[in-house]
Amino acid sequence: MLPSLTVLLLCQLAGEVVVRLLGLPLPGPVIGMVILFLGLVVRGRVPAGLDQAVKAILGNFALLFIPASVGVMVHLGAIWTEALPIAAAVLGSTILTIVATGRLMQALSKPPDNGTDKDRA
């Protein structure tokens, strides 16, 4: 399992390096995830060790939320002062996500136009 965890951390590190070198406005772990995905696509399958490591991490996923929860409790006063802008941002982004997802679904679910429509003539 240690080699698989090393692969995950190296992908994250590579993502951080790419972001810093290119000045991309993305988090390094996101680029690292893309690097990992491309590596898995090239390989054609997920190695058994990597699969086990990821399942172990996901099995303890709830523990990863503890630091974020503590941070929210520590900064609860600041969050409460900025409750209106935070609520507006969450509501606005939720609405935009729903609209964008709906539009994308509409665009992707249209049948392809292969020129056989006789009503056009």
pLDDT tens digits in sequence order for the chain, 121 residues long: 889 999 999 999 999 999 999 999 999 999 999 999 999 999 999 999 999 999 998 898 888 888 889 988 999 999 999 999 999 999 999 999 999 999 999 999 987 777 665 555 5
pLDDT at 118: 58
Residue 119 lies in a domain: no
pTM of the model: 0.58
User: Are both 73 and 29 inside the same structural domain?
Assistant: no
Specify whether 54 is located in the same domain as 70. Answer: no
Residue 3 lies in a domain: yes
Of 4, 5, 33, 31, the residue nearest 16 (C-alpha)? 31
For the record, the structure tokens of 109 come out as: 């679910």
Are 52 and 4 contacting, i.e. CB atoms less than 8 angstroms apart? Answer: yes
Task: Tell me which residue range forms the domain holding 19.
Answer: 1-59
* pLDDT for the residue numbered 68: 87
